[in-house]
Chain A
């Protein structure tokens, strides 16, 4: 284990050192000649509209939420995959129960349409908009 940690440390140190070296080298070699046109966000001349801090859509939260839950599921799947051959049917049934319970959640999310991207929010306001459009 001691050896593993040293390997990780060497890896990190070499990574940081390489990054610092490359940045320092490019700073050393680059010609510096700033002018207003070069300092704009898009050098091709496109004007940026509005600030970069914008309010995200609630759907991003739903996506991230589902991702977190299934990420935890995957974390339990790793050790299961490793011991599967040793424990056999029992571990298989256990994991299927686990996955089944979580699949109920996925089915719920799916049925509510929360993982479909283009659908408008199923709130009263959105329904009114749809009626108005017709």
Chain B
């Protein structure tokens, strides 16, 4: 029998892979995909807890996470396009104008 812990473990591993991608990759687009991975892992945790508590509220939260993710992707990719236009690169190590 698969328990709640199994799903939470899978969610944690996916989230950790997403964090690794954000910390280690330099291509801004791949960093963005890693963020999507983290959001998806959070969704899995929401659905698993909703099932565990037999409460639909957790599923509703997944919907709002989806809406936020869509907004985030739209604005984030637009920012990447704007940066690419100005700097000609999407390498996050080269986009360091605001670094102290």
Chain A interface residues toward B at CB < 8 A: 58, 61, 65, 68-69, 71-72, 75-76
Query: Does B92 touch A at the CB level, under 8 Å?
Result: no
**Interface size, chain B (Cβ < 8 Å):** 10
Q: Are B63 and A61 in contact (CB under 8 A)?
A: no
Q: Are A72 and B70 in contact (CB under 8 A)?
A: yes
Pick from B25-33, B37-45, B73-81 the stretch touching chain A.
B73-81
> Of B63, B66, B67, B74, which contacts A65 at CB under 8 A?
B74
Query: Which residues of B sit under 8 angstroms from A65, Cβ to Cβ?
Result: 74, 78
Q: Are A68 and B70 in contact (CB under 8 A)?
A: yes
Q: Are A71 and B63 in contact (CB under 8 A)?
A: no
Q: Are B70 and A61 in contact (CB under 8 A)?
A: no
Chain B interface residues toward A at CB < 8 A: 63, 66-67, 70-71, 73-74, 77-78, 81
- On whether A68 and B63 interact (CB within 8 A), knowing A58-B81, A61-B81, the answer reads no
Nearest first, the 3 closest Cβ-Cβ pairs linking A and B are A72-B70, A65-B74, A68-B70
Query: Which residues of B sit under 8 angstroms from A72, Cβ to Cβ?
Result: 66-67, 70
The dominant DSSP class at the A interface is helix
Q: Are B70 and A71 in contact (CB under 8 A)?
A: yes
Q: Are A75 and B81 in contact (CB under 8 A)?
A: no
Report the separation of the CA atoms of residues A65 and B80 in the bound assembly, to the nearest whole angstrom.
Answer: 14
The chain A residue sitting closest to B67, CB to CB, is: A72
Report the separation of the CA atoms of residues A72 and B70 in the bound assembly, to the nearest whole angstrom.
Answer: 7
> Of A58, A68, A76, which contacts B73 at CB under 8 A?
A68
* A94: min CB distance to chain B, Å: 14
Report the separation of the CA atoms of residues A48 and B81 in the bound assembly, to the nearest whole angstrom.
Answer: 29
> Of A61, A71, A75, A76, which contacts B77 at CB under 8 A?
A61
Q: Are A75 and B66 in contact (CB under 8 A)?
A: yes
11 of the cross-chain contacts (CB-CB < 8 Å) are: A58-B81, A61-B77, A61-B78, A68-B73, A68-B74, A69-B71, A71-B70, A72-B66, A72-B70, A76-B63, A76-B67
